Structure 1
Amino acid sequence: MGRTHVRALAAGSTVVVTAVVEPVEAVRTELEADGVDVYSTVAELLSHGRFDGVLIAAPTDLHAELVETFAAAGFPILCEKPCGLRAADTATATRTAAEAGVLLQIGYWRRFVPELVELRRRIDAGELVLVDMGVHEFDQIRWLTGQEIDDVSAVAAAASSDEPVPGDPESIVALARLSGGAVATVSLGRRFPEGDCCWVELMGTGGHVRLPFMWGEPGTRVFLDALVAQAEAFAEAARGGPLRGATGDDAIRAIEAAERASEAAAVQTR
């Protein structure tokens, strides 16, 4: 994921990569060849690096710890989602950033997909009243609808013999009741014939929309463009502009919903 972010940042016009922390020597060599200052540890970066903000794209179990480290050092932070593996970890990291007075944006990149931005505008304008939707992520539900996730139930597929993570199902379907009375359906799966695909469907009294905003190989461009827009929005916020990305509180709400779904499906959260 780190390399993907570097590609996205290179394509942007307002953000420049000045330094990277990379513990793998072979990857460090590649990055150095591209003219980027590379450090093997975060401590080295903090001692010698030249940068105005931080993008965290480390393994998920390190996110919360790194947020706290860079917040204590006073740097604005864009952290890959999820911010932590547990709601408690996410809350602690969010509180640390708030107490340090630093910007914390969470990388829910779908908030920067133009088609979804337009869909949210239509919902806000009352052109659609949400009743049911299929999504890939709980944050997207909250962001699109402006409603909180109240109750969650879920059913997981039977574990397959070649599941990538023991105890983590191949697919799961969750049903959520939202604070405004709407109902949302989340369908998640590790394998799909067309590759990495995401779509959202809304049915309401004012109409119906089905939006396959990321589908197969062409979806790679959608993903990268959203990462560029996300990074540039973060840079704008770091300069004192409005925060258009997900906040630490958004991250807490999303992981809380995921935890409830995991518990409902008797799935152990990693």
Structure 2
Amino acid sequence: MVGQHGGLPGPLASGPLPNSAPAEQYRGRPVDKLCGPAQNGGRYEDQSSGVRRVLRDDAAVLGIAVIGAGRAGMIHARNLASGRVPGARLARLVEPRAETRQAASAELRLEHSSADYREALADPAVDAIVVATPSALHCEIVEAAAQARKHILCEKPMAMNAAECDRMLDAVDRAEVTLQIGFMRRYDAGFVAARRRVEAGEIGQVVSVKSLTHGPSIPQPWMYDLRTSNGPLSEVNSHDIDTVRWMSGSEFEEVYAIAGNYRSPAAREPFPDFYDNVILTARLRNGMQGCICGAQGVMYGYDARCEILGEKGLITVGGLAADSVVAYTADGSAGAVVRSWQQLFLDAYRAEDEDFVRCVREQRPPRAGGEDGKAAVMVVNAGNRSIALRRPVSVSEGESANA
């Protein structure tokens, strides 16, 4: 969810640590045993799964454990450790790689850290957790956290398939705890303003929504295997899928996707299905059109944009420029560009964390809940099936293939 520019002061301002450890390092079981066989996830319902246990009486400040010290996890951890999130503190960090855990703990000046997430769930000082591990672990951790009656902010993608999402939703419903999904663009000032202008009818009835994410990061090796990562549609374009749903007010019905591996030569032979470039077109349930473009390993900067076309006009949001001043001359154009999603969406992550704390305290549904996460996962699987079959695929067919 958000994005202005800036940085944290002092020792918390150091650069990002590596991505989270591979899934199998968080505990001793193989990835394919995490959440059992996939099943048909059923239909989407327009509601957020929700809330809520009463906090312990002495929880004047919400104690939050961050599970995963990769790039996203460290953004949340820095927000909490720096005091930038009112009413919350960083209570514990979980990271299985000892060197990464020690470096993160030193930077954050944190006393309590561990390699096993179960230690965080057993800690009475922890009221809530942020799950920022590889997505193949999300189901297991969220189910365990709900059983321990901890509130949960789970980074996208929510899970690997709709069946896992349903297990997570059932677990949080039984425990009456909050589940928020990390779609931080819903907290970005520009994206929020665009959504409000759509709602105000400024461009009339929406006809189509295009969302684009191009990132400079080279894919991590664990992402090459689509069986454990679901590929860039999941790891990168989950945000775009959610943006199209959010801006259109509708659900995906059918998708057609094409993809290729153009910038990741190391993956071509061992992982022939891996792609670092994808274009997905969609027919939405209300008759609107959707389009998503994704790319990893681009060299020109970090680029996140959305276009909403209506009957009466066009709204655009996002872009590559770090500010609004760009010079155009006979020699070309010159201007500062955004280099990373951490830079672009820094404020959005903080707003997301702040809203999570408010949702827990006020016992209200989050802006992006479990059903939103599930909807995106279903589109990811339909898109990946479309890539494999080279034909349009309905969202329901995409999930049935995982059964």
| TM-score, normalising length: structure 1 | 0.91
Larger radius of gyration: 2
Q: Partner of 2:344 in structure 1?
A: 222
Q: Please tell me whether the aligned partners of residues 301 and 340 of structure 2 are also in contact (alpha carbons under 8 angstroms).
A: no
Aligned residue for 1:7? Answer: 78
Query: Number of aligned pairs?
Result: 270
Partner of residue 146, structure 1? 249
The one-character-per-residue Cα deviations of 1:189-247 (angstroms, maximum 9, x if unpaired) are 11333222110012221211222256522754331111100011000001124334311
Unmatched 5+ stretches in structure 1: none
| Aligned match for 1:116, one of 177, 191, 207 | 191
Q: Measure the CA separation in 1 of the matches of 2:261 and 2:129.
A: 40
RMSD, aligned CA: 2.4
* TM-aligned CA deviation for residue 159 of structure 1: 5.9
Q: 1:131 aligns with which of 207, 230, 244?
A: 207
Secondary structure of 2:159's aligned partner:
coil
- Output the CA distance in 1 between the equivalents of 2:300 and 2:275: 20
CA distance in 1, matches of 2:266, 2:117: 33
2:190–2:318 contact (8 Å) kept in structure 1: no
What's the TM-score, normalizing by structure 2?
Answer: 0.62
1:155 counterpart (252, 258, 273): 258
Question: Would you say the 8 A contact 1:147–1:179 is kept in 2?
Answer: yes
Summarize the alignment of residues 2-151 of structure 1 with structure 2, pairs less than 5 Å apart. 2-11=73-82, 12-14=84-86, 15-33=88-106, 34-48=109-123, 50-128=125-203, 129-136=205-212, 137-151=240-254
With 105-114 and 160-169 compared, the bigger mean Cα shift is at 160-169
Secondary structure of 2:280 counterpart: strand
Distance 2:367 2:319 in 1: 19
- Partner of 2:146: helix, strand, or coil? helix
Change (3 A) 1:51 1:88: same
Contact 2:255–2:383 (Cα < 8 Å) also in 1 = yes
Letter in 2 for 1:94: L
- Tell me the equivalent position of 1:208: 314
Q: Aligned equivalents of 1:161 and 1:56: distance in 2?
A: 28
Higher mean alpha-carbon deviation, 217-226 vs 51-60, is at: 217-226
Number of the residue aligned with 1:235 = 357
**2:263 aligned with 1:192:** no
Q: Which residue of structure 1 aligns with residue 279 of structure 2?
A: 173
Structure 1 range deviating more: 27-36 or 230-239: 27-36
| 1-structure distance, mates of 2:105, 2:383 | 43
Give identity over the alignment, percent: 28
Pair 1:266–1:69, CA change in 2 (3 A)? same
2:188–2:348 Cα contact (<8 Å) kept: yes
Distance in 2, Cα, partners of 1:130 & 1:259: 26
The runs of 5 or more residues in structure 2 that have no matched partner are 1-70, 213-239, 322-337, 390-397
- Contact conserved, 2:210 with 2:244, CA < 8 A, in 1? no
- 1:24 is displaced (CA, Å) by 1.6
